[in-house]
Chain A
Amino acid sequence: MTEIIQQLVNGLSLGATYSLVALGLAIVFTTFGLINFAHGELITITSYVTYGLSVLGIPWAVAITGGLFTAIISAILMERIAFRPVRGKPPTTSLLTSFGVSLILQALIVIIVSPRTKTVQQWSWLGGSDIVGGLVFPRYQVITLVVALIALLAMVFTLKKTNIGLEIRGAAEDLEGVRLLGVRSGRLVVVAFAVSGLLAGIAAVLIMARTGGSINPHMGLLPMLSAFVAVVLGGFGSLGGAVLGGFILGFLEVSLRAWLPQSAVGLTTAIIFAIVILVLRIKPSGIMGKVIEEKV
């Protein structure tokens, strides 16, 4: 029982992290039809900036803030440089463009920093454990869970209760339609990318906490791929689906890692993705995806 609750907390915390990444992808896709394969590099960039600032002896709170800020700026720059020229083209075009951007960014980190794994000096308060209701949890898990849930709730609040959130949801349904209501698409695209950058940045911090601060130039890849798979599983074009997909993937990963025999733990990702493919076999449009009737 104890173990189950601990796994549950772990699953929630990982799921919430994936949800943040997936939500960032989904916001950019649903509003502007752009697929950002370089989304994972936002995670990498945040981590390296946080690492760089920590190495300089800057306090962790400032280092993290700097990382998040860089993620937002990088996301906005990505839109300017790589996505604006391909707006309105099919999603495949933006996918491939961002594919190239991703490759360039990874290479730049290799050239500027190092191809090797670096370790962000552990913030002492991340170690240790907390006792909640008589159960012991690693502190990083508790913190990850709390932060991720706060970030998700803040996103839900923003989307549901603020004007900009309303504009994003409106644009997700019909971009041209909301422009006819006075929504500025130029501003909205900046906001959408900034939000996706911020979410990726927060996820980066949580991932660093989870992995003990170990970072490398390709660290953004797997979270980004998992987030993509989460988005497809949840249903392309649905913001709620992205969050749901993220949680499902997180739970699957945690439970497989716990229950698989040691020799097969390495296959976790493969098994999860295979399960997702089986689900799509039954429901090709994803869990919350709707089949859109094309206008003839």
Chain B
Amino acid sequence: MKKVAKRLDIKRVVIRSVLLTIPLTIAVLVATGTGGSISRLITVAMINLIIVLGIQVFTGNTGIVSFGHIGFAALGAYLTGILATEPDVKGFRIPDAPFGLSKFSLGPVLGLLVAVLIVTVLAFALGTVISRIGGISATMVTLAVLIIVYTVMNDWVAFSGGAEGFFGIPVTASPVLVFIFAVFVLVIASVYKESIPGLRAQAVREDELAARAMGVSPPRTRLWSWTLSAAIAATGGGLLALFLGSITPRDFYLKLTFATVAMLFVGGVQSVSGAVIGVILITVGNEIFRWLSNGFTIGAITVPQNPGMTDIFLGLVIVVTMISRGSGLMGSREVEDFVIKTKKSTHVDIAESRKTSFISEEIVSKTLRADSLSKSFGGLLAVKSVNLEVETGRVVGLIGPNGSGKSTLLNMLSGVIPPTSGAVLIDSNEVAASSEEASREGIARTFQNIRLFGDLTVAANIQIALDSVGTKRANPVKAEAAVSSIISKLNLTDVLDRKANTLPYGLQRKLEIARAMALMPNFVLLDEPVAGMNEVESAEIADVIKMLAEDLGVGVVVVDHDLPFILNLCSKMFVMESGKLIFSGTPQETRQNEAVIAAYLGSGSN
């Protein structure tokens, strides 16, 4: 039995890490071989790489641009510096430091460790705010974090030594040590990106609503990403302190922010390889422009000294990157993509019996019930006291003219929006009105306007649902087996390694169904599953829906405008008009009901 996707694609991570370590190795060899200013330049660049990778872990995976990580690097540097420095040296710079900091020293190793730990805890606390805000407002808050840290380092003289900086830190970080850290962080960033927590963060980035419907909590996902990334940035800052021996608040302010943003985005914010490429390009470019800005003479033309040249270089790089593609040189690709040829996955073995529910050994019998659900939007009643029920193993249809309240009803059933009154029940237990909760209680759904995690692979789309909820609701082995059979039934096997947004329309619809089923639900709500599909595809979908109900024992609610399709498929129909349920009965009764025909042709209003 082949797994949908390996929980962590070790091969990818290894190949990527090895490939990306090559330039780092060359760099560190040059650094140790030359010494002097070149060694210093290379080592600082590797430390910048650590900080940039820290930001990449957060920004790349969650899509939220953060300026706050430079603040964490600053904190990491200062705390490391202060904790690592000998009391006699410190006593001179910061004799009145709080917490008796000037009285003791932890040494560089423990100092760095404790510093990173403190920053991580602080970042976690801050993260509880930022992770709830999300989007562009969160970016603004990270900017506030940077300013706060800068102001504190600049003006809390007793603690930091103030604007003149803090010096006398034992210089213990060698180029080789920094290299080892850089490689380590490279591996961590790669593992995170390919692992389930990273995939979840990416799912939230791609489509927050769909992610929640897969049981993923956006704030929690962002919080972990934020905290991990802050720890990495703090490590980078700490190493810088231990390498340079002296630091000032200005070292961790706008210049570094601009530089790291340029490094991150020119290579591609979603790519770990992009971070490495970005650091190399910007460092080299910066050096060239620094040299140019010292003034030079070509023939008769003398260019005078211009200290702002490197800033203009950085600014232009950022502007051009954003205007041209926005996704940087690598996009979301990684170096190994140029090495590994995506092979076609072998067909999945579906010999295993499908005649059992994947929830437990026997088919469970449950009923999903809308109990007089109502919803009003700003005084307008969109759904008026609707009762609807579906048992496991049955397919029911929900139809009605445009604007009759079907989507609103589906949104309430799946916890996307809370009802104004009434409740959603499974048997007699009320289901809390949240997507995450609904998915854990066994209610899955698809969306009318397709909400896939577009930049993730087909396998990752399914894996997120399976790991977040599916394997917790069902025996993991059985769950994987069931999902494999659905994948194969929906003809998705050959496209598992492709990005979801590159699939043709019909397959995208099928992937949405497969992803919903990977939650191992008792009930699945399908919002216009055959919209835009041709005859053959519609028939396939009808077969799949029958399989879900008959073989897997799932209760299915189908909303669609294709009357022939839906009347053929369902055992029971519910018809809505103007927010009310106007009819329920068998498809045969539905066809003959005057009110239903009137609702569709609109003469009922007379």
Does a CB–CB distance below 8 Å link A and B in the complex? yes
Enumerate chain A interface residues (CB-CB to B < 8 A). Answer: 35, 82, 85-86, 89, 91-93, 95-97, 99-104, 106-108, 110-111, 115, 218, 221, 225, 228-229, 231-232, 236, 266-267, 269-270, 273-274, 276-278, 280-281, 284-286, 293-294, 296
A294-B209 in contact (CB<8A): yes
**From residue B222, how far is it (CB to closest CB) to chain A in Å?**
12
Task: Report the Cα distance A266→B148, complex, angstroms.
Answer: 11
Q: Is the CB of A107 within 8 A of B311?
A: yes
B170 sits at the interface (CB 8 A): no
Cβ distance A50 to chain B, nearest Cβ, rounded Å: 22
| B97 in the interface (beta carbon within 8 A) | no
Top 9 A-B pairs ranked by shortest CB distance?
Answer: A266-B155, A100-B318, A107-B308, A104-B315, A107-B311, A103-B315, A100-B319, A270-B151, A273-B144
Besides A92-B136, A107-B311, 8 more A-B contacts (Cβ < 8 Å) are A35-B136, A100-B318, A101-B315, A270-B152, A273-B144, A277-B144, A293-B377, A296-B447
With A35-B136, A115-B307 in contact, do A277 and B129 touch (Cβ < 8 Å)? yes
Give Cα distance in the complex from A96 to B65, angstroms.
9
Interface size class of B (residues with CB under 8 A): 35 or more
A285 to B147, CA, bound (A): 21
With contact pairs A103-B314, A107-B315 given, residues A270 and B147 touching in the complex (Cβ less than 8 Å): yes
Cross-chain contact A104 with B136 (CB below 8 angstroms): no
CA distance in complex: A264, B381 (Å): 55
Distance of B22 from chain A, by nearest CB (Å): 30
Q: Is B364 an interface residue (CB 8 A)?
A: no
Known: A229-B144, A280-B141, A284-B132. A296 touches B315 (CB 8 A): no
List of B residues within 8 angstroms of A99 by Cβ: 258, 261, 318
CB closest residue in chain B, given A97: B322
B15 in the interface (beta carbon within 8 A): no
Query: Is the Cβ of B156 less than 8 Å from the Cβ of A95?
Result: no
Are the C-beta atoms of A225 and B416 separated by less than 8 Å?
Answer: no
B148 touches A96 (CB 8 A): no
Residue pairs across A and B with Cβ atoms less than 8 A apart, 10 shown, are A95-B65, A100-B316, A104-B319, A111-B307, A228-B140, A232-B140, A267-B155, A273-B145, A281-B129, A284-B132
Set of chain B residues within 8 Å of A225, measured between Cβ atoms: 143-144, 147
B326 interface residue per 8 A CB criterion: yes
Residue in B65, B319, B411 with the greatest tally of chain A CB atoms within 10 Å: B319
Residue of A nearest to B411 (CB): A296
Q: Is B584 an interface residue (CB 8 A)?
A: no
- Of all chain B residues, the one with the shortest Cβ separation from A102 is B315
Inter-chain contacts of B261 with A (CB < 8 A): 96, 99
Write out the residue numbers on chain A whose beta carbons fall within 8 Å of the beta carbon of B265: 96
B148 touches A273 (CB 8 A): yes
What is the CA–CA distance of A6 and B285 in the complex, to the nearest angstrom?
52
Known: A100-B316, A280-B141. A269 touches B323 (CB 8 A): no
Contact partner of A107 (CB less than 8 A), chosen from B129, B312, B407, is B312
A273 in contact with B147 (CB, 8 Å):
yes
Q: Which chain B residue lies CB-closest to A104?
A: B315
Query: For chain B residues 216-248, which have a beta carbon within 8 Å of chain A?
Result: none
In the complex, what residues of B have CB within 8 A of residue A86's CB? 322-323, 326
Residues of chain A with a CB closer than 8 A to B139's CB: 92, 95
A267-B152 contact in complex given A97-B323, A228-B140, A296-B416, C-beta closer than 8 Å: yes
Q: Which of A91, A97, A266, A280 contacts B133 (CB 8 A)?
A: A280
B309: A residues at CB distance < 8 A: 107, 111
Q: Are B136 and A103 in contact (CB under 8 A)?
A: no
Interface positions of B (Cβ within 8 A of A): 63, 65, 126, 128-129, 132-133, 135-137, 139-141, 143-145, 147-149, 151-152, 154-156, 209, 254, 258, 261-262, 265, 306-309, 311-312, 314-319, 322-323, 326, 377, 407, 411, 416-417, 447-449
Residues of A within 8 A of B140 (CB): 228-229, 231-232
Main SS at interface, chain A? helix
**A236 proximity list for chain B (CB < 8 A):** 136-137
Check if B319 sits within 8 Å of A97, measured CB to CB. yes
Whether B126 lies near A277 (C-beta < 8 A) is yes
User: How distant is B249 from chain A, measured CB to nearest CB, in Å?
Assistant: 11
Q: What is the CB-to-nearest-CB distance from B217 to chain A, in angstroms, rounded to a whole number?
A: 15
* Complex Cα gap A176–B64 (Å): 26
Knowing A95-B136, A270-B148 touch, does A100 contact B417 (C-beta < 8 A)? no
CB distance from A261 to the nearest CB of B (A): 12
Contact B319 A111 (CB under 8 A): no
| Most chain A CB inside 10 Å of its own CB: which residue of B132, B151, B262 | B151
Question: Are A91 and B136 in contact, with the CB atoms below 8 A?
Answer: yes
Known: A110-B307, A270-B148. A228 touches B315 (CB 8 A): no
Least CB distance from B218 to A in Å reads 12
B322 to chain A, nearest CB (A): 4
Residue pair B137, A296 in contact (C-beta under 8 Å):
no
A229 to B143, CA, bound (A): 9
A293–B417 CB distance below 8 A: yes
Q: What's the Cα separation between A218 and B147 when bound, in Å?
A: 14
- Provide the residues of chain B in CB contact with A285, threshold 8 Å: 137
Chain B residues near A270 (CB, 8 Å)?
A: 147-149, 151-152, 155
Cα A86 to Cα B322 in complex, Å, equals: 8
Interface contact B128-A281, CB-CB below 8 Å: yes
State whether A106 touches B311 (Cβ < 8 A).
yes
Contact B448 A296 (CB under 8 A): yes
Bound-complex Cα distance A101 to B312 (A): 9
Query: Shortest Cβ distance from A179 into chain B, in angstroms?
Result: 22
CB of B220, distance to nearest CB on chain A (Å): 15
A102 to B318, alpha carbons, bound, how many Å? 11
Q: Closest chain A residue to B258 by CB distance?
A: A103
A82 to B321, CA, bound (A): 12
Closest Cβ neighbor of B326 among chain A residues:
A93
Question: What residues of A have a CB within 8 angstroms of the CB of B126 in the complex?
Answer: 277
Contact indicator B209/A276 (Cβ below 8 Å): no
Known contacts A85-B323, A89-B326, A225-B147; is-contact A277 B308 (Cβ 8 Å): no
Residues of A within 8 A of B258 (CB): 99, 103
Complexed CA–CA distance, A101 and B126 (Å)? 29
Q: Specify which chain A residues have a CB less than 8 angstroms from the CB of B307 in the assembled complex.
A: 110-111, 115
Chain B residues with CB under 8 A of A100: 262, 314-319, 322
Task: Give A17 Cβ to nearest chain B Cβ, in Å.
Answer: 18
Whether A296 contacts B209 by the Cβ 8 Å rule is yes
Complexed CA–CA distance, A99 and B314 (Å): 10
Query: Which of B254, B411, B417 has the most chain A CB atoms closer than 10 A to its own CB?
Result: B254
Asked if A280 meets B154 with Cβ closer than 8 Å, knowing A96-B65, A111-B308, the reply is no
Cα A296 to Cα B152 with chains together (Å): 44
Residue pair A103, B209 in contact (C-beta under 8 Å)? no
Cα(A106)–Cα(B315), bound, Å: 10
Q: Return A129 CB to nearest CB of chain B, in Å.
A: 29
Partner of A104, one of B152, B306, B311, B417: B311
Closest to B144 in A: A273
* Least Cβ–Cβ distance between B461 and chain A, in angstroms: 18
